[in-house]
Amino acid sequence: MRRPIDSLFGRLALLVVAVLMLSHFAWYALMRLERSQLQTRYAVEEATFLVDAVRQHVARTPDQPLPSRVKLVDPASPDVPAASRNMPPPLARFADDVRDRMPADTQVRVGPPGAPPTLWVRAATDQNWIVVPVQPLRTPRSLDRTVLWLVTIFSFAVMAALFAAWALQRPLRLLAQAVARFGRGLPVPPVPERGPRELRQLTHGFNQMVQEVARTENDRAVMLAGVAHDLKTPLARLRLRAEMMDDAKTRDGVVRDVDSMTHIVEQFLLFAHDGADRSEAVEVDAQCERVVRSYRAVATGAPTVQTELNAGPSFLLPAATLDRILSNLLDNAHAYGAPPVIVATARTPQGFTLLVSDNGKGIAAQDLINASRPFVRLDPARGGNGHSGLGLAIVERLVRRAGGEWEIGNHGGCGLRVLMSFPFEVLPRVATASENAW
């Protein structure tokens, strides 16, 4: 199962959201702290200004009434609050800040709780207590309008960042898809060169590489197809002349050689063919049964072929591709393997599998890497008549062109095993309807 966090976009999204959340949280905490300190400083400045204004008023115009909520209280009055040592931390800091702004030996007290907040100040030169109102020192609430604005800004920032991350990873995703198609041997259209400079350079290099590989492959295919095509006419004339020979032993030998050469030429043409298979999609299980039945009837001396077909009707492949895959693998098993040969299909959670195995000696471990290379014969004993070293190379090319993957190896020392896997998404479209009905 694919994990969203395992993709580039998922990791970019997680990183962006985490960074934005951390920065917004830090900004909010700093703003709350700064607002609390600013409120305290403003209250201290206001209280200090009022106390100085009252002193100047008393010194200059003692007969004039004081402003409302400002009063002078006799030190002997019972209304004078007692010096408290258990004030809340904000009030204690406020009183200390006011005391620092006043002359030395100034007494600073805070009015009793439950009443409008007042500040009581008396310096050594003051005859009475000066009582002035102060701003309430409220602790910032946990949820206020700032949180709403913070959430709104954070949401828009996340959406913009996710869009930027998507736009940044999209060219890379297109390039990854093109690389996957190129690895399976499928046609690869030019990838748009978008994104940052490094990504554009990478995409440009990939497009050039695909063009050079396609040009080289096309030149090789044209050369190979031309040579093979030109050989067909002389081989047909040679076979016709061989049929007219009087010596039966010589005639049969020449005919066998001509047939071997004709088979090699046909393999050349098949390997050189690089077009898409436009044949009708057929059920793999039914087609395998028909091909095996025909192979048993036609191939004289062929080993026993058994079938284990369990994929169901939803496993579909182009008919020509499937016939070529099976014929090459059965011919290979006939030439180099030992009975019984097994053709098996199965359905897995990821897709379907097609397996062809025999019980011969298999291929040496050091030779497995070269088994599917074109024109490579692993040892002289595997030469035989009519074999060009293209059988497994053709099978690999056909499987990859159909969107599948293949795995070649020996199974427990009991012969060669070729396992082909086809994911659901690469199967012909008609397979979807069949699968839903299955």
pLDDT digits (tens, 9 = 90+) for 403-420: 888 888 887 767 888 999
If 0-12 CB within 10 Å is exposed, 13-18 middle and 19+ buried, where does residue 268 land?
A: buried
Please tell me the distance from the alpha carbon of residue 352 to that of residue 67, in angstroms, as a whole number. 93
CB contact at 8 A, 327 and 394: no
In a domain, 417, yes or no: yes
Number of domains the chain is built from: 2
User: Under 8 Å CB-to-CB from 91, ≥6 apart: which residues?
Assistant: 110, 137
Q: What is the pLDDT of residue 381?
A: 43
In a domain, 156, yes or no: no
In a domain, 253, yes or no: no
149 has a pLDDT exceeding 60: yes
Please tell me the distance from the alpha carbon of residue 150 to that of residue 109, in angstroms, as a whole number. 38
Please tell me the distance from the alpha carbon of residue 129 to that of residue 77, in angstroms, as a whole number. 10
Of the spans 69-78, 232-241, 273-282, which averages the highest pLDDT? 69-78
Range of the domain at 317: 277-437
What tokens were used for 221? Answer: 């295919």
CB contact at 8 A, 191 and 164: no
Q: Where residue 397 sits, what CATH number does that domain have?
A: 3.30.565.10
**pTM beyond 0.75, yes or no:** no
Using DSSP bridges, classify how beta strands 305-309 and 341-347 pair: parallel, antiparallel or unpaired. Answer: parallel
Supply φ then ψ for residue 397, to 5 degrees.
Answer: -65, -40
Which among 103, 133, 163 is the end of a domain?
133
What's the CA angle centered on 319, arms 316 and 323, to 5 degrees?
A: 115
In a domain, 227, yes or no: no
In a domain, 176, yes or no: no
158 has a pLDDT exceeding 60: yes
Which among 99, 133, 167 is the end of a domain?
133
Distances (CA, A) of 219 to 212, 213, 222, 234: 11, 10, 5, 24
In a domain, 60, yes or no: yes
In a domain, 305, yes or no: yes
Which among 110, 133, 156 is the end of a domain?
133
Q: Which residues pair with 318 in a beta bridge?
A: 281
